[in-house]
Amino acid sequence: MTTTFPPTAGPPESLDTAGTARPPQATVETVHASSARPLAAAGTSVGVREMPSTVRPPSPAGTLPADTAQAPSPAGTLPADTAQAPAPAEGPHAHTAQPPTPAVSPHVATAPTLDPVDAHHARVDLLPAQRRGPDTAPPPVGVEPAVVVRFAVLGDSLSEGVGDRVDGAWRGWAALLADGLGGPAQRVEFRNLALSGAQSQEVAEQQAPAAVAFRPDLASVVVGVNDTLRHTFDIARLARRLDRVCADLSASGAVLLTACLPDPGRMLGLPAPLARPLARRQKAVNALVHAVSDRYDAVHLHLADAQWTDDRSLWSADRLHPGERGHRAIAARFHSLLAARGLAHGTPPSPEPEQPPPTRAEAALWLATAGTGWVVRRCHDLLPQLLHLAGSELRHWAGGTGARLDRRAEHALSAALAAVSLDVPVATMGE
């Protein structure tokens, strides 16, 4: 079933100093998890209004307010405000008494209370037609406020933007896509919760609750590679976590974005005995992602195809993360799939890089620092188990029983899918 946003209202207009109407542009508010600032509700300014003039300050006990109190009248006469004025007194010093000045009421301010989530959403900048102070005229009849499109991003370093550095910070495909989601009458709120090194456990326990509270219209969930690079890899646990995350986001009204990924062993060019166990794990993860994507009608992108993995111009020096060209290609492809569903209304990102590619010296420096650190961490975590798996791989290869390892992985995958009620045929893990 195709999910669409609410009908887009006609574009609101604002006036410049010359009085000429100009259409507003879509705006994007960005919050990035890597900024290490906690996600907290922000306040909002509230206009002060004046209460009706009948509201007066309280009068002393036993008396009437100053503007309604009447002087006592002699018996048989009319009240002071209806009695006839007396004839002027005679004599040179005669004068007329002045009536008392009525009391002036102060302004009364009222401010409604917002819950934390509403207060956070009220913090964002508004389009020009919505920036109205208490003395500004209301918008013209028939002009509706901008439609808000919320986009949440969950995952690891791929979604964080590693490989696409702009002004000293990671940008990535998700930020490029966010810039092209909104139309003229839409405002995009973009929140990137992805963090480098995140596994499915961090996504399920930390990122997903924050994303659900954000109430996104779109939510990308791309995770699993880091799980395959740990000695604790368990396809059954991954299936439960991924299904729970997607179920919660889908129930909140979000359209999901998912992707299957190339296996890291092939991308790193590892020897066959080391690469095959990693490839088997990644194929199982991709088969799981396909099944979950079908269940929740996700917008799914194939990134394990040869056209992605064989084009080295799309990848950064570490061969695990896309470069700017690769991030732009991912963003453009997602934009095309969303536009086909009527979920992207802005300009698609350009496929051509804007930043110069890193020099060989810069790539070598990165590999010698961050790349070496990654290898050291994996040596303590994955390498001992990977060497054990490689030994098993060689023994089965020598005995001509290598197919047993594939069948064992396929049965584990089928059991994991059945545990979350995904009744699919025994996976062949062909991708």
The whole-number pLDDT of residue 151 equals 98
Contacts for 129 with CB less than 8 Å, ≥ 6 apart: 12, 13, 14, 24, 139, 143, 145, 146
Those residues of the chain that have pLDDT short of 50 are: 1-25, 36-136, 426-427, 431
Residue reference for tokens 């194939």: 302
Distance CA 279, CA 272 (A): 10
pTM, entire model: 0.67
Closest CA to 353 of 190, 163, 169: 163
Can you give the pLDDT at residue 319? 79
pLDDT of residue 285: 96
State residue 91's pLDDT score: 44
Give the C-alpha separation, 19 to 206, whole Å: 49
Whole-number pLDDT of residue 30: 65
**Nearest one of 161, 159, 166 to 358, comparing CA atoms:** 166
Q: What is the pLDDT of residue 124?
A: 31
The angle that helices 402-419 and 272-295 make with each other, rounded to 10 degrees, is 30
Taking every pair of Cα atoms in the chain, the longest distance, rounded to a whole number of angstroms, is: 137
Per-residue pLDDT, 268: 80
Contacts of 394 (CB under 8 A, 6+ apart): 273
- Angular region, 223: left φ>0, alpha ψ -120 to 50, beta rest: beta
**pLDDT number for residue 425:** 54
* Spatial CA neighbour of 216 closest among 173, 280, 261, 154: 154
Q: What is the CA radius of gyration of the chain?
A: 33
